[in-house]
Amino acid sequence: MPGRILVVDDEPLKRITLQIELTEHGYEVFEAADAAAARRILDARPIDVVVTDVRMPGLSGLDLLTYVKSAYPTVEVILMTAYATIDTAVLAIKRGAHDYITKPFTTPELIVKLDALFAGRQVGQPERSVETFGRLVAASQSMRRLFEQLRGVAPTGRTVLLVGESGTGKELLAEAIHQLSPRAQMPLVRLSCAGLPADVLEGELFGHERGTVAGATRQKAGRFELASGGTLVLDEVDEIPPELQVRLLRVIEGQEVERAGGEHGVKVDVRLICTTRADLLKCVQAGRFREDLYYRLNVMQFFVPPLRERPDDIPLLAQHFVKKHGGLVANRPVRIAQHALDELLRRRWPGNVRELEHVIERALVFCGGDEIRPEHVVPVGDGATTESGNGSAVTATGSTLAMSEEPRLGLNETVADIERRMILMALRQCNNNQARAANRLGIPRTTLRDKMARYSIASTEADSRAETPA
């Protein structure tokens, strides 16, 4: 019986028992200890039915029911309660619950209700829809909802503030907002405010007259003038020095720019989109960002979730990048093995979507065939992290393939170094079982033995050496 179930209960034994027994019946089951964890799961992946306890620490099951029916009206809710009364049942049904079940109950009793619920649907479990927004694709609930919100705000001309970690796609979101606006045929101008000296940033933003600054042999229009009629995207807006923030505020309020050394203002018509990794309100409280400018920019604020909080997007994005960079393998069809996808899903992705794209690019180069396997998606660079079995982040130092910009080794030696590290990692992950390690690497066991002899790898070496960079 198809279907995705989310079990929410603060009693670990009951929660895990339901997860195991419902999974054995054929459902895909997720579990959460409280309403807050349940909301994060709902935002990250598609769920058909929430089975939740009524009494839990923090938000109750009825509170969770209200949230679910508001945010995800197609998701059904079944309440579990040891305090079943007519009043509780009536209240639950009024709030949109599909049904309730009284504790103690057996799993088969719950299965009867779930099977009936799915059998009563006119259409079976739908495939997860994929949405596009400009050059972005997503399947997760959180990103699809963000796309919907941005489609609504794009035509309005309002100032937009995009907040999120580096690599989450804020620049592409800004581009898509511009393309969906009435200004789409006008200029889209970008400026990164990070790392620029104040005088350079001032000239870039507002322009200058000839001879007003060193080397200014001609008049220069700033980005506000260049974007007039269109959209200006200011990346890392929190990096603007305080002395320039007041000038930026005046331009936003008056839609008029005064170049350095100029005697008259220049009227502009600019739609502003700003991005930041920082919490601007905390910057205001720390005295690094003007409060009045914060409220001018914070007209329409949107949070872009990190990749680790939307795992449903990882397989979709991985395949998207395989197609995008197909030229690396002469545009041959390349599939991603399930074990490789599992490896990608275990990662924490501190670099977010940008990091995933780079990993797929390298995998296409490494695979040399028609299939990307786990050994091809080894992270490159220090501090790469994966998700351990208990959900904690593990630093994959031993599985890091660090290649400096100026390698001291020759090409053949560098390739050999990479191959040796892959073998060590495979042996470690397979508990030194050579047959399993060879299968994981996609080579015959005899070839693995030959390579182990070539690289002087003892059968017990992986446990100690795989954790130490070569």
Report pLDDT digits (tens) over 34-60.
Answer: 999 999 888 877 888 999 998 888 888
By percentage, how much of the chain surpasses pLDDT 90?
33
Q: How confident is the model at residue 382 (pLDDT cuts 50, 70, 90)?
A: very low
Instruction: Flag whether pLDDT at 147 surpasses 80.
Output: yes
* Helix H or strand E segment including 395: strand 393-395
Instruction: Flag whether pLDDT at 398 surpasses 70.
Output: no
Question: Which tops the pLDDT comparison, 90 or 451?
Answer: 451
Output the CA–CA distances (angstroms, integers) from residue 350 to 62, 167, 222, 279, 354, in the order listed. Answer: 35, 9, 34, 18, 10
Instruction: Flag whether pLDDT at 462 surpasses 60.
Output: no
Q: Half-sphere exposure of residue 351, counting CA atoms within 13 Å on the CB side? A: 13
299-335: burial string, b at 16+ Cβ within 10 Å, e else? ebebebbbbbebbbbbebbbbbbbeebeebbeeeebe
Q: Determine how many CB atoms are found less than 10 A away from the CB of residue 383.
A: 11
What pLDDT, on the 0 to 100 scale, is given for residue 128? Answer: 54
What pLDDT, on the 0 to 100 scale, is given for residue 155? Answer: 92
Q: How confident is the model at residue 82 (pLDDT cuts 50, 70, 90)?
A: confident
Q: What is the DSSP string of 64-114?
A: HHHHHHHH-TTSEEEEEESS--HHHHHHHHHTT-SEEEESS--HHHHHHHH
Average pLDDT (109-113) is: 90
Q: Are 399 and 379 in contact (CB under 8 A)?
A: yes
Task: Pick the range with the lowest mean pLDDT from 68-72, 82-86, 371-375, 379-383.
Answer: 379-383
Q: How confident is the model at residue 89 (pLDDT cuts 50, 70, 90)?
A: low
Is CATH 3.50.50.100 what the domain over 4-120 is classified as, yes or no?
no
Instruction: Flag whether pLDDT at 99 surpasses 80.
Output: yes
Task: Pick the range with the lowest mean pLDDT from 46-60, 79-93, 186-200, 452-466.
Answer: 452-466
Q: How confident is the model at residue 237 (pLDDT cuts 50, 70, 90)?
A: very high
User: Which one, of 403, 433, 436, lies nearest residue 417 by Cα?
Assistant: 403
Report pLDDT digits (tens) over 64-78.
Answer: 988 888 778 778 999
Domain residue spans in the chain? 4-120, 133-303, 311-465
Tell me whether domains 133-303 and 311-465 share a fold: no
Q: How far apart are CA 327 and CA 322, in angstroms?
A: 9
In angstroms, how far is CA 424 from the centroid of its own chain? Answer: 30
Instruction: State the residue for tokens 């203002």.
Output: 265
Residue 220 tokens, joined: 């220069």
Residue 242 contacts by C-beta under 8 Å, 6 or more apart in sequence? 288, 289, 290
101-136: burial string, b at 16+ Cβ within 10 Å, e else? beeeeebeebbebbeebbeeeeeeeeeeeebebbeb
Q: How far apart are CA 354 and CA 67, in angstroms?
A: 32
Question: Which tops the pLDDT comparison, 110 or 46?
Answer: 110
Q: Are 7 and 15 in contact (CB under 8 A)?
A: yes
| Domain topology for 133-303 | Rossmann fold (3.40.50)
Q: Average pLDDT, whole number, for the chain?
A: 81
CB-based contacts of 412-417 (< 8 A; 24+ apart in sequence): 416/455, 417/470
Instruction: Kindly tell me the burial class for residue 273, based on how many C-beta atoms sit within 10 Å of its own C-beta (0-12, 13-18, 19 or more).
Output: buried
Average pLDDT (155-169) is: 93
Is CATH 1.10.8.60 what the domain over 311-465 is classified as, yes or no?
yes
